[in-house]
Structure 1
Amino acid sequence: MTATDRFTGFVDRAHASGRLVVQPRMGFGELHRMRAGLAAVREADATTVGTVTLDSYTRCLDDGTARRALRDDPAGLNGFPLLAHGVPAVRALLQDCSSAAFPVQIRHGTPRPLRLFRAMAEAGADATEGGPVSYCLPYGRVPLARAVAEWSAGCELLAAQPVPPHIETFGGCMLGQLCPPSLLVALAVLEAMFFQEHGLRGISLSYAQQIHQGQDLEALAALRRLAGERLSTTHHIVLYTFMGVFPRTEDGSRRLLAESARLAVHGGAERLVVKTPAEAHRIPTVEENVAALEYAASVAAATSDGAGGRPRATSSDGADGPCATSSGLYEEARTLVDAALETGRTIGDCLVRAFARGVLDVPYCLHPDNANRARATIDARSMLGWSRAGGMPVAAGGAAPVTARHLTELLTFNRRRFDRDARRHPPRSAS
């Protein structure tokens, strides 16, 4: 039996003791700044794991440009240039900073991860993330079949390590917003099944907070149920603080972050990837990341009774104890998974063919291998739903076509809502 990787073991122990693991999305160009950032996250007053987020040049495998930027303007890099630094330097960084008590995940964003995975394996990384769909369709024009082939080889390379690293599917965060939850759940499960098919055993499934807390609770329950039905591997659920257009006010941002922390507890997620109030304006500093981690952890602790992460009793008005909606989200996600699995022999084949036939279709995604015939909207209940289904086996509401002005309104829904609430009410404490 394959030994449990450090990342999986840490999250499992934290959850068993009733603690939510919180994690930043943080990366810096210079080794000393990356080391200092990891140290600060490790010492935060929260249960944390570390993050090394790669820069955009490295994500595109343009390590030559990354090396020049590292030489000429390292502070200008928007992440950590892993390939430019080289395996020995990265190995030393991880040996200094990571441990069983503080595992580190490398986040990358590339549809062609084989070179990166090879370097990560040689450097001894605890964990990584992404997926053949979620790191292909939103990020460029690499053909989906090519991405699937390279992800297949990369996952098998990782699985061949003495202790394979943990891997997280990014499918539940597709485009960050305006993707109905049933498709997010289906993509997360399909990518997790892809990882399992290629031999990986420590897996997490992501879901990005959307715009309606009850619908998000229903989605998290559906994700956990489907993962339990389709995976035989050790797995957990990770929630992302809203990844779309962030509130402009600090109070609005803190309200949104607090809602995601409460959602993580009520939805039973084991890990929360946070954003900071700086997100609407620029890349956050180390100090801002640590402050966001500590705030999210304090809200989660106040929401939980500390026993296995269960939410404490709440008032009858549901203000602190939201109820999940009951919209058939699990059934719709299961239908999408089953329809995709009918198209091919392997999970990879199924993903390629399902998108080619429009059985899976991400709304507003312009990648050439995405049919882009499905459309989503926000209904009168402030819930995300289908206005047009395209070729997918889902029911659409038949709403009017989304105009450019309406699309802008949809994309800024959470920003306007939380900024408006921040102006109407004083800041809310964690307790």
Structure 2
Amino acid sequence: MTGTGFGAFVRRAHDAGHLVVQPRMGMSGPDAMRAGLLATRDAAATTVGTITLDSYTRVGDLESARLAVLEGVALNGYPIVSHPAATTRGVLDGVHGPGFPVQVRHGSAAPQDIFRALRAVGLDASEGGPISYCLPYGRVPLRESVAHWAASCELLAAARGPGTEPHLETFGGCVLGQLCPPGLLVAVSVLEGLFFHRHGIRSISLSYAQQTDPRQDAEAVAALRGLCARLLPDTDWHIVIYAYMGLFPETAPGAYRLLGTAAQLAVASGSERLIVKTVAESRRIPTVTENITALEYAAAVAHRTDRAPLDGTRTQTYAEASALIEAVLALDDDLGTALLTAFSEGLLDVPYCLHPDNAGRTRSYIDAGGRLCWADIGKMPLTGIADVRPAQAITSAGLLDSLSHVRRSYDHRGPGDPWPSQVPAPRGA
């Protein structure tokens, strides 16, 4: 593998004992986007940059994005397709490079225009996937998403050259993750990584979103690492942890506790990168300053956390994920076709996902210890593997309560509980 690029930077940092931390950050104005990247680069942490795109670009409404740029209307992200390439090169000039790679994050089921635009300005790292950027986000048919992502992977892979190794990150480990038992999350993440690989991508990161129980999370990441080692042997891969994707704590101590737990998970599990969330997540889009504080706090927690990886092949999550992956791979030599068949037959089925191409027969619950478990596996090939308890299925009345489980757990603060270390308490706390 080449020694430059997004994946190589993360690998070097990990080998040197550093966790790479990354914000979610996207501003529509070029000056503001450049300032955010500079602040991220200069944070007291080992960082990579993020350009998160706007909603119009994500859904392919490029005309609305262009009008917003022409009229100076602020968007909720950077419209990379609609800004002139020269403008975006100016944003990146003197910022993006071997010592500070930048990733484009978007959320699109049809990212070809996005990939063309990022290639035109010298970027070569992005993320998503044919399942994870289709099922949770809209009604684009899964068949169309698979075709779009096959073409997009090949488009990005064509950018490979001397000093250039394109990088893609799966979003599969985050797909509706807040109520999805981790066996399915790990399976989808690995399957998307294999899809990328079969369409020419050789530098891949595989995601896992922090869930409801730290011990179960550690087991899940160990399973993900074990499966990657087995199924992606000729690939430069690493694991990226996402701080909890659901309802974030409303108090500052709760938010920092949850972020700190994510940083501990990343380091202890041997993961290489962490995408942070901030104290503002429960209320609004965070400022650049809040993002930098989160990056530096996560880095400080990571610095004092020891690695303690588990055996990834001896967990319940590994058994479930392995069974799901093997069932899908046995369906067809073409992985895109296999994924479509798997969803149409219910062999992959995301709980509480309303997309028309998702069977919607699976259900989950949070047990008394905080673990995510199966109440109904539908037609997924987990009979005799998963511990299924139908009586525990979440009812519609209990859904919001379950979605709020993590928020409540981390916001609760007894009178003697200290503030998370490294974060100054506000006046009056």
Q: TM-score range by the shorter chain?
A: over 0.9
Give how far 1:419 is off: 0.6
Percent identity, aligned pairs only, is 53
CA contact (8 A) 1:360 1:392 kept: yes
Amino acid at match of 2:390: G
The answer as to whether partners of 1:52 and 1:107 remain within 8 angstroms in 2 is: yes
User: Displacement of 1:115 after TM fit?
Assistant: 1.3
Contact 2:10 2:272 in 1 (8 A): yes
| Counterpart residue type for residue 121 of structure 1 | R
The alignment status of 1:12 with 2:11, answered yes or no, reads yes
3-state DSSP of counterpart to 2:274: strand
8 Å CA contact retained: 1:213, 1:324: no
Give matches, 1:224-243, under 5 Å: 224-231=225-232, 232-243=234-245
Contact 1:30 1:74 (C-alpha < 8 Å) held by counterparts: no
Deviations 1:98-146 (A, max 9, x none): 0100000000100011111111112211310000000000111111111
- Quote the residue 1:113 is aligned against: 111
1:368 is paired with a residue of what secondary structure? coil
What is the CA–CA distance in structure 1 between the aligned matches of 2:249 and 2:311, rounded to whole Å?
24
In structure 2, C-alpha distance between the alignment counterparts of 1:404 and 1:424, rounded to whole Å: 36
In 1, the alpha carbon distance for the partners of 2:139 and 2:325 equals 24
Contact in 2 for aligned 1:129/1:168 (Cα 8 Å)? yes
Q: Is the 8 A contact 1:213 1:322 kept in 2?
A: no
* Match of residue 316 from structure 1: none
1:337-372 CA distance string (max 9 Å, x none)? 001112222111111110111000000111100001
* Cα deviation, residue 13, structure 1: 0.8
Q: Do the aligned residues in 1 keep the contact of 2:223 with 2:312 (CA within 8 Å)?
A: no
2:325 aligns to what? Answer: 337
* C-alpha distance in 1 between matches for 2:380 and 2:81: 40
Q: Secondary structure of the equivalent of 1:148?
A: helix
| RMSD of Structure 2 on Structure 1 (CA) | 1.9
Query: Aligned equivalents of 1:29 and 1:74: distance in 2?
Result: 9
Gaps of 5+ in 1: 305-309, 312-320
Residue of structure 1 equivalent to 2:427: none
Q: Report the counterpart of residue 85 of structure 1 in structure 2.
A: 83
Cα distance in structure 2, aligned partners of 1:281 and 1:332 = 36
- Residue 397 of structure 1 is matched in structure 2 by 389
Residue 135 of structure 1 is matched in structure 2 by 133
CA contact (8 A) 1:214 1:324 kept: no
Q: 1:159 maps to which residue?
A: 157
Q: Corresponding residue for 1:53?
A: 52
Name the SS of the counterpart of 1:247 in structure 2. coil
Q: Is contact 1:158–1:164 with CA below 8 Å preserved after alignment?
A: no
Aligned counterparts of 1:400 and 1:209: Cα–Cα separation in 2: 22
Pairing 1:293-304 to 2, within 5 Å after superposition: 293-304=295-306
Secondary structure of the residue aligned to 1:238 is strand
Task: Report the Cα distance in structure 1 between the residues aligned to 2:35 and 2:334, rounded to whole angstroms.
Answer: 43
Structure 1 distance, partners of 2:406, 2:30, is 36
Query: What SS does structure 2 have at the residue aligned with 1:18?
Result: coil
Match among 245, 260, 263 for residue 261 of structure 1? 263
Please state how far the C-alpha of 1:176 moved relative to its aligned partner: 3.5
Q: Describe the superposition over 1:236-265 as per-residue Cα deviations: whole angstroms up to 9, x where unpaired.
A: 000000010001111100110011111111
The TM-score, its normalising length taken from structure 2, stands at 0.93
1:194 aligned partner: 195
Gapped runs of 5+ residues in structure 2?
A: 424-429
User: Residues 132, 293 of structure 1: CA spacing in aligned structure 2 closer, same or farther, 3 A cutoff?
Assistant: same
Q: Which amino acid aligns with 1:181?
A: P
Paired residue for 2:420? 428
Q: Which moved more, 1:366-375 or 1:111-120?
A: 111-120
Number of residues of Structure 1 aligned to a counterpart in Structure 2: 415
SS of the aligned residue for 1:349 comes to: helix
Q: Does structure 2 retain, via aligned residues, the 8 Å contact 1:379–1:385?
A: yes
TM-score scaled by length of structure 1: 0.93
Residue number among 377, 380, 405 corresponding to 2:368 in the alignment: 380
Answer whether contact 1:252 1:422 (CA < 8 A) is retained. Answer: no
User: Are the counterparts in 2 of residues 241 and 273 from structure 1 also a CA contact under 8 Å?
Assistant: yes
1:414 and 2:406 aligned: yes
d(CA) in 2 for partners of 1:193 and 1:88? 35
Q: Output the CA distance in 2 between the equivalents of 1:28 and 1:176.
A: 26
Q: CA deviation at 1:71?
A: 3.8
